[in-house]
């Protein structure tokens, strides 16, 4: 039986990508010239970063009036950069509080001296469903509306079909479902995603920003590293970028394209998730708190309803080679992350294990 | 003849480290569990980051009252974090303008709404020497004094023996000579270094911060990702850290220790630099603009005095397998970066090439 990595991130990457990295390093051994040692000003790296951008543009159909930027600091730094760059007229950011990371984004807006306003929340009900925009929501009261498309911890998703409708600017944290399902980029004024779930190893964050929105901002007392315009002006190389992370991200994008692109990923991910949800739903032993179209296809969250039993079964799973199945420490239960690189065999093995656990416990 | 990488950064790493990374990736292939895919909450990574910190503490003799932090964003983000965290009483940062990066640090302090004050500069004389603190320098007028220990572009260094003497807080950018020569950490209130020169691949920055100085700061309107205290409180894991970069940095630290530590690196680096400077000084063809104790042992800058000829010879060097010898685009000439991982054979090969070029041009 294989070993499977259900980590929510950093998570599983395609074997083909790991092999390619290993082979590249081997080929370059003793040359003083591996991918880990090249200047970011070298033609080789310039090709790598341009290729990564071109592949992402192609995979997501990103129009030319959006910039594609590579930044360090993860989603958490984006929670600070976004209000610093874009909350300049009303100074207010509307947040749909659909999970832990949306909540953090609202707090980060406050921390940088703007106002993060939670306009709807399912926090009191443990984020079991997606909050909707209130009927009296006035987009003009806010500089933008921040959403988390996929709630990694809670296992829920604003899919393209149930995105909130706003007349204002929509900003999306797609960290845990970028390239896992299709989104229409033109519905958003900014999108960002930490790489370490569906794009590559940790260490780089992608930001997709509408250029004309950025151009109209008047920003004060924000340093160059915290301004998106710096990354636009300098092709993400104002200072040394995370060379290896961008190289690995490019390889993952190549892999996604080779597999058939986002549409094919979506087909695969739906199949994987449906198989697991179908098993869980017919089981008397396990429950899924999130219902219907709110459910995530990248992070499947479930529980036996008994915290101690959940913990024991997660530990048994670990021994059986099914790793990182425990839910986030803030919610407990189980979480099976089914990112693009997760094979159907992982789901089959997991279901077999869960059946056995249901009988034995 | 071997190929040598004289890049100023990202630069050459020890072959032993590249081999170890390659072997680790190979061993983990097909396990869905390579270093690129592990959770930052996994015991394996917790060991990696703790070990890296312990090794750095040991190598630099960092006392317990200093925090050792791993941050993303490179030195350029430190240029913004430092004034945001520490320029809170006078709001002024004194800067010894010894090179391009010191100058950038002063500008970054202004950009974040503080005041970066250049108290001495050698900019007008192309940074050919190190500026000294003026006699009437009043440290109490500033929250801290910022220096660049090693000026990567200009090839000059405030060595431990010629550090500026101030009664106030001293902050050092050691990006290009950390672990290349010994410094007494207790002379500084904060030290930082981007990894990509002497510590590992690009993608992580080390900050060493005196805890009691940090504790006394009253900071407003700065988000958690831009506060050092967040990294202290969360052991550099407030959010997902750059896992692979920290793993590789730990391997480099192991290598430095195996080689005999910073003292041995210093002996090696002095030998390499002395051999190259000796050749350049006795040559009628090449000149070194920086003199005496101001000279860097990690970045040796020189020129023929003829910009076109410098360019031609750099291109010839490239063809001969001596890569990235051209000086920074802002100054031209040549720059040979002799970081810890650069072998003496690189210097020997370079001198042979330079002799030949001097005859033929």
Taking contacts as CB-CB distances below 8 angstroms, the residues of chain A near B223 are 79-80, 108, 111-112
Residues B239 and B344 in one domain: no
Distance CA B179, CA B260 (A): 11
Taking contacts as CB-CB distances below 8 angstroms, the residues of chain A near B110 are none
Whole-angstrom Cα Rg for chain B: 21
Would you state the pLDDT for residue A353?
A: 98
Among the partner-chain residues A8, A25, A31, the one whose CB lies closest to the CB of B3 is A31
Residue B75 touches chain A, beta carbons under 8 Å: yes
Confidence of residue B1 (pLDDT cuts 50, 70, 90): low
Which of B172-208 are b and which e, b meaning 16 or more Cβ less than 10 Å from the residue's Cβ? bbbbbbbbbbbbebeebbbbbbbbbbbbbbbbbbbbb
Instruction: With respect to residue B9, please indicate whether it lies within any of the assigned structural domains.
Output: no
Would you state the pLDDT for residue B257?
A: 98
CB A321 within 8 A of CB A1: yes
Q: What are phi and psi of A22, to 5 degrees?
A: -60, -45
Would you state the pLDDT for residue A210?
A: 98
List % helix, strand, coil for chain B (3-state, nearest 5): 45, 15, 40
Instruction: With respect to residue A4, please indicate whether it lies within any of the assigned structural domains.
Output: no
- Known binding residue A335? Answer is no
Distance from CA of A103 to the nearest CA of B (A): 14
pTM here?
0.97
For chain A, what is the domain count? Answer: 2
Domain boundary among A234, A258, A282: A258
CB A117 within 8 A of CB A139: no
Residues B316 and B275 in one domain: yes
Residue B13 touches chain A, beta carbons under 8 Å: yes
**CA distances from residue A251 to A75, A199, B31 in whole angstroms, order as listed:** 21, 9, 19
| Inter-chain residue contact A108 with B224, CB threshold 8 Å | yes
The CATH code of the domain that includes B119 is: 3.40.640.10
ipTM of the complex: 0.96
DSSP label of A321: T
Domain boundary among A258, A285, A311: A258
Among the partner-chain residues B10, B28, B243, the one whose CB lies closest to the CB of A38 is B10
**CA distances from residue B318 to B7, B222, B313 in whole angstroms, order as listed:** 12, 46, 9
Is 80 exceeded by the pLDDT of residue A28? no
Size of interface A-B (CB pairs under 8 A): 216
| Angle between helices A15-28 and B15-28 in degrees, nearest 10 | 150
Taking contacts as CB-CB distances below 8 angstroms, the residues of chain B near A33 are 3, 5, 323
**CA distances from residue A221 to A84, A85, A110, A218, B114 in whole angstroms, order as listed:** 9, 11, 16, 10, 8
Instruction: With respect to residue B130, please indicate whether it lies within any of the assigned structural domains.
Output: yes
Residue B274 touches chain A, beta carbons under 8 Å: no
Cα nearest neighbour of A322 on chain B? B32
Residues A270 and A306 in one domain: yes
Residue A11 touches chain B, beta carbons under 8 Å: yes
Residue B253 CA neighbour count, 13 Å, CB half? 22
Q: Which of B207, B236, B243, B249 is nearest to B81 (CA)?
A: B207
CB B280 within 8 A of CB B288: yes
Residues B224 and B96 in one domain: yes
Q: Which of B152, B123, B272, B37 is nearest to A201 (CA)?
A: B37
Taking contacts as CB-CB distances below 8 angstroms, the residues of chain B near A1 are none
Residues A237 and A295 in one domain: no
Distance from CA of A278 to the nearest CA of B (A): 25
Residues A282 and A232 in one domain: no
> pLDDT exceeding 90 applies to what percent of chain A?
92
Is 60 exceeded by the pLDDT of residue B37? yes
Biggest CA–CA distance in chain A, Å, is 65
Residue B241 touches chain A, beta carbons under 8 Å: yes
Instruction: With respect to residue A100, please indicate whether it lies within any of the assigned structural domains.
Output: yes
Residues B54 and B168 in one domain: yes
Distance from CA of A343 to the nearest CA of B (A): 10
Confidence of residue B182 (pLDDT cuts 50, 70, 90): very high
For residue A268, give its domain range. 261-360
Q: A287: how many CB neighbours lie within 10 A of its CB? A: 13
Residues B212 and B332 in one domain: no
Listing DSSP states for B226-260 in one string gives G-HHHHHHTTT-SS---HHHHHHHHHHHHHHHHHT
Residues B246 and B284 in one domain: no
Instruction: With respect to residue A3, please indicate whether it lies within any of the assigned structural domains.
Output: no
Q: A345: how many CB neighbours lie within 10 A of its CB? A: 11
| Inter-chain residue contact A194 with B240, CB threshold 8 Å | yes
Instruction: With respect to residue B210, please indicate whether it lies within any of the assigned structural domains.
Output: yes
Residues A156 and A194 in one domain: yes
| SS3 label, residue A79 | helix
Distance from CA of A114 to the nearest CA of B (A): 8
Q: Is the dihedral of CA A150, B43, A331, A350 positive or negative?
A: positive
Q: Which of A236, A176, A237 is nearest to A208 (CA)?
A: A236
- Known binding residue A196? Answer is yes
Q: Which of A17, A54, A59 is nearest to A261 (CA)?
A: A59
The CATH code of the domain that includes B268 is: 3.90.1150.10
Among the partner-chain residues A9, A25, A238, the one whose CB lies closest to the CB of B18 is A25
| Inter-chain residue contact A3 with B76, CB threshold 8 Å | no
Confidence of residue A33 (pLDDT cuts 50, 70, 90): confident
Query: pLDDT tens, B255-299?
Result: 999 999 999 999 999 999 999 999 999 999 999 999 999 999 999
Residues B160 and B233 in one domain: yes
| Inter-chain residue contact B18 with A3, CB threshold 8 Å | no
Q: Which of residues 244-273 of A touch B (CB under 8 A)?
A: 244-245, 248
Average pLDDT score over residue span A205-222:
97
Helix (H) or strand (E) holding B300: strand B299-302
Instruction: With respect to residue B351, please indicate whether it lies within any of the assigned structural domains.
Output: yes
Distance CA B111, CA B86 (A): 15
Residues B155 and B79 in one domain: yes
Distance CA B132, CA B129 (A): 9
Instruction: With respect to residue B1, please indicate whether it lies within any of the assigned structural domains.
Output: no
Domain boundary among B258, B282, B308: B258
Among the partner-chain residues A12, A74, A241, the one whose CB lies closest to the CB of B239 is A74
Distance CA A297, CA A212 (A): 33
Taking contacts as CB-CB distances below 8 angstroms, the residues of chain A near B241 are 202
Average pLDDT score over residue span A286-300:
97
């Amino acid at each position: 039986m294989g070993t499977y990595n259900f980590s929510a991130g950093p998570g599983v990457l395609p074997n083909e990508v790991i092999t390619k990295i290993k082979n590249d390093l081997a080929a370059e051994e003793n040359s003083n010239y591996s991918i880990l040692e090249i200047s970011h000003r070298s033609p080789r790296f310039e090709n790598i970063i341009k290729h990564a951008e071109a592949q992402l543009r192609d995979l997501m159909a990103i129009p030319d009036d959006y910039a594609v930027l590579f930044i360090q600091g993860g989603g958490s730094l984006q929670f600070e950069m976004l209000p610093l760059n874009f909350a300049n007229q009303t100074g207010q950011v509307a947040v749909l509080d659909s999970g832990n990371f949306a909540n953090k984004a609202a707090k980060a807006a406050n921390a940088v001296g703007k106002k993060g306003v939670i306009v709807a929340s399912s926090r009191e009900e443990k984020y079991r469903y997606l909050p909707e925009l209130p009927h009296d929501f006035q987009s003009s009261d806010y500089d933008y509306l921040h959403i988390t498309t996929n709630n990694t911890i809670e296992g829920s998703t604003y899919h393209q079909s149930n995105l909130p409708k706003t007349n204002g600017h929509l900003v999306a944290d797609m960290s845990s479902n970028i390239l896992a399902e299709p989104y229409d980029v033109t519905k958003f004024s900014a999108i960002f995603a930490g790489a370490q779930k569906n794009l590559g190893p940790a260490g780089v964050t992608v930001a997709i920003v509408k250029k004309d929105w950025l151009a109209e901002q008047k920003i004060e007392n924000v340093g160059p590293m915290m301004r998106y315009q710096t990354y636009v002006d300098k092709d993400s190389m104002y200072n040394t970028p995370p060379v290896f992370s961008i190289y690995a991200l490019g390889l993952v994008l190549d892999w996604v394209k080779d597999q058939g692109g986002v549409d094919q990923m979506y087909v695969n991910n739906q199949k994987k998730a449906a198989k697991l949800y179908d098993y869980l739903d017919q089981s008397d032993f396990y429950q899924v708190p999130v219902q219907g179209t709110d459910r995530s296809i990248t992070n499947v969250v479930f529980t036996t309803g008994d915290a101690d039993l959940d913990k024991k079964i997660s530990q048994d799973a670990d021994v059986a080679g099914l790793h990182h199945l425990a839910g986030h420490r803030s919610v407990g239960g189980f979480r099976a992350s089914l990112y693009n690189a997760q094979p159907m065999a992982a789901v089959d093995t997991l279901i077999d294990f869960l059946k056995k656990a249901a009988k034995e416990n």
